[in-house]
Amino acid sequence: MSIQTSLSCLVAGLNQHPRRWHLLGIVVCVFMFAVAFWLQFVLQLEPCPLCILQRIALFTALVLFTCLAIWQPKNWYWHLLPSLGGLAGIVLAGRHLWLQSLPADQVPACGPGLDYLLDVFPLWDVLTSILSGSGECAKISAAWLGLSIPAWTLFGFVALVGFNGILAWQIKRHT
């Protein structure tokens, strides 16, 4: 069986069984959460504010994949919903990588913790503060195969958005 035949069988299966692809999205999200919690609770790496926002984006994608797996709408555009969480995660992970790439003298100063910010400031000010970055987000606390945690997270979000886009495109094409 050639690679082209295998790919065409795979793509044809997208339209016939979209629930399986939503379940795959759920599995990817759960795997990303498992790695995040392992890093936090086993390796004792405290998540920075951008890491926490990336987890919220991942949770959004997880909830939307779960809703689609249960609901199974016929219109193709509903299948793009999990990409919203994935796109937010791509933006956040990209911002995180940018902060990590800054020279040491250009890294923003560390700000107060996320708990304090949420207690004292309105939500919009908290988000603005987090996205402007802080020194703790620029610190590379761990790397695997030469890539930092936000880089691997970015790959995970790109994979989620990519295969979700292919799923929606295939459903649109066959309806």
What is the tally of structural domains in the chain? 1
Domain that holds residue 163: 3-173
pTM: predicted TM-score of the whole model, two decimal places: 0.75
CATH code, domain carrying 10? 1.20.1550.10
pLDDT in tens, the chain (175 residues): 566 665 555 555 555 567 888 898 999 999 999 999 998 899 888 888 888 889 999 999 999 999 988 988 878 778 888 999 999 999 999 988 888 777 777 666 556 666 777 787 788 777 777 666 555 665 667 667 878 888 999 999 999 999 888 888 887 887 6
Q: Measuring CA to CA, which residue among 78, 40, 60, 37 is closest to residue 160? A: 60
Q: Which residue has the tokens 């094409």?
A: 173
Is-contact 144 152, C-beta < 8 A? yes
